[in-house]
């Protein structure tokens, strides 16, 4: 049986390779800004810990001992307070959070309206609900989808606080106004904003909209120093309902105590790391200036995410591949998430990136782009 399927896979892989889209890069599962590999040091702009803070073993042990069996509830309370929510539920991953919303909270008579390209987790989650998508931060498109979804009983508007394709911050207050107009609830994904903006409360706090959303979603892996973990925070009845048995697979499995203790330490440290968070935005702007100097086009960004425009899918994949060969790891973002003519390289920065590394990265970008004919 497998031999037939094996031939099919080989044929598909050959087609991908012929199209210039074959991904030969191994996945480096690390939140470190610089990764030590057998081939040398790789500067990681693909999935780093934004703040770069990791509590030591003694701190983890002290927090675990202090809270004991109440560690999970203590972390949930801290996250809820940080985000201005009434309650919070811990989960293992962001995908689990979207599965919970799609399959447990909402029914076939309901609708999810979500932005693209950021929220691909909504697209992949098995859902009983009707789905409507709008272009990130496009208020006219959002209003159109809200109108189309009026036949559904309940509408949940899911928006990414920070657009992963450009780093721009969503106009949350205008979005809340449209949600009120068309009687929709709002879930804000603060994955790339919580722990960074304001006093750590994310884009909602930055835009004076903290606590307005019925639901706030996020990951513990971006600014809270964890290797896994996510949360859904929000109105008390929503979280209480998500805790109830439904006959669906259990997704709220306990996180490892070390992960929860790391998140507690990161949240407790927020008042002391304001300078780190400011530095994160400064080095992002510094890299933008350096890449501008090399001749690249970069969309406006307000976060630690930035994009370098490339062109089509093949060019983006080729560029990412050659960057990795030159010890720079970045994300190639292309269709179907992005229109084929707007494919790009996306970088996520960390406070652990130094100015020297930023300068080196810009030079590598410029040199590699010239070598493969992009500049």
Q: Encode pLDDT of 152-168 as tens digits.
A: 999 999 999 999 999 99
Paired residues of 84 in beta bridges: none
CB count within 10 Å of CB 364 equals 17
CB count within 10 Å of CB 246 equals 12
Confidence at residue 3, expressed as pLDDT on a 0 to 100 scale: 78
Report whether pLDDT(270) > 80.
yes
Q: Which two tokens stand for residue 43?
A: 């500067």
Report whether pLDDT(18) > 70.
no
Paired residues of 305 in beta bridges: 348
Q: Whole-angstrom Cα distance, residue 324 to residue 308?
A: 15
Q: Which two tokens stand for residue 180?
A: 């009120």
The three-point CA angle 61-65-68 to 5° equals 130
CA 88 to chain centre: 19
Q: Calculate Rg over the CA atoms of the chain.
A: 21
CB count within 10 Å of CB 278 equals 11
pLDDT band at 27 (very low <50, low <70, confident <90, very high): very low
Output 31 or 236, whichever has higher pLDDT.
236
Q: Which of 9-13, 136-140, 243-247, 336-340 has the lowest average pLDDT?
A: 243-247
Highest mean pLDDT among 40-49, 334-343, 351-360: 351-360
Q: What mean pLDDT value characterizes the chain?
A: 89
Determine the straight-line distance between the first and last CA of the chain, rounded to whole angstroms. 48
**Among candidates 223, 229, 216, which has minimal Cα distance to 277?**
223
Share of the chain above pLDDT 90, in %: 68
With a CB cutoff of 8 Å and minimum separation 6, the contacts of 220 are 226, 228, 229, 230, 231, 259, 262, 263
Q: Which two tokens stand for residue 221?
A: 């892996």
HSE on the CB side for 147, CA within 13 Å? 6
Report whether pLDDT(123) > 70.
no
Domains and CATH numbers, the chain: 23-52+273-371 (3.90.1150.10), 69-270 (3.40.640.10)
Report whether pLDDT(353) > 70.
yes
pLDDT band at 340 (very low <50, low <70, confident <90, very high): confident
pLDDT band at 80 (very low <50, low <70, confident <90, very high): very high
Judge whether 192 and 153 are in contact, CB under 8 Å: no
């Amino acid at each position: 049986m497998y031999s037939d399927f094996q031939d099919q896979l080989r044929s598909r892989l050959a087609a991908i390779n012929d199209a210039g889209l074959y991904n030969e890069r191994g996945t480096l599962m690390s939140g470190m800004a610089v990764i030590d590999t057998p081939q040398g040091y790789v500067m990681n702009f693909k999935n780093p810990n934004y703040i770069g803070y990791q509590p030591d073993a003694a701190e983890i042990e002290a927090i675990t001992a202090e809270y004991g069996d109440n560690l999970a509830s203590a972390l949930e309370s801290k996250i809820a307070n940080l985000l201005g929510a009434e309650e919070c539920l811990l989960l293992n991953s962001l995908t689990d959070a979207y599965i919970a919303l799609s399959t447990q909270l909402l029914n076939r008579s309901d609708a999810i309206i979500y932005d693209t390209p950021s929220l691909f987790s909504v697209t992949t989650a098995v859902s009983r609900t009707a789905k409507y998508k709008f272009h990130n931060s496009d208020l006219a498109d959002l209003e159109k989808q809200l109108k189309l979804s009026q036949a559904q009983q309940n509408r949940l508007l899911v928006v990414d606080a920070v657009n992963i394709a450009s780093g721009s911050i969503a106009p949350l207050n205008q979005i809340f106004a449209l949600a009120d107009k068309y009687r929709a609830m709002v879930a804000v994904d603060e994955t790339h904003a919580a722990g960074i903006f304001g006093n750590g409360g994310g884009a909602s706090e930055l835009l004076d909209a903290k606590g307005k959303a019925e639901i706030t979603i996020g990951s513990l892996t971006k600014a809270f120093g964890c290797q896994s973990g996510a949360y859904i925070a929000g109105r008390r009845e929503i979280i209480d309902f998500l805790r109830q048995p439904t006959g669906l697979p259990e997704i709220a499995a306990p996180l490892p105590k070390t992960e929860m203790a790391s998140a507690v330490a990161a949240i407790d440290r927020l008042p002391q790391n304001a300078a780190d968070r400011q530095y994160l935005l400064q080095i992002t702007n510094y890299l933008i200036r350096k890449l501008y100097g090399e001749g690249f086009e970069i969309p406006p960004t307000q976060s630690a995410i930035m994009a370098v425009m490339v062109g089509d899918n093949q060019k983006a994949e080729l560029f990412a591949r050659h960057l990795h060969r030159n010890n720079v790891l970045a994300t190639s973002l292309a269709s179907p998430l992005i229109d084929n003519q707007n494919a790009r390289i996306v970088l996520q920065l960390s406070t652990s990136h130094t100015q020297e590394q930023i300068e080196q990265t810009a030079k590598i970008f410029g040199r590699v782009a010239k070598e493969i004919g992009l500049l």
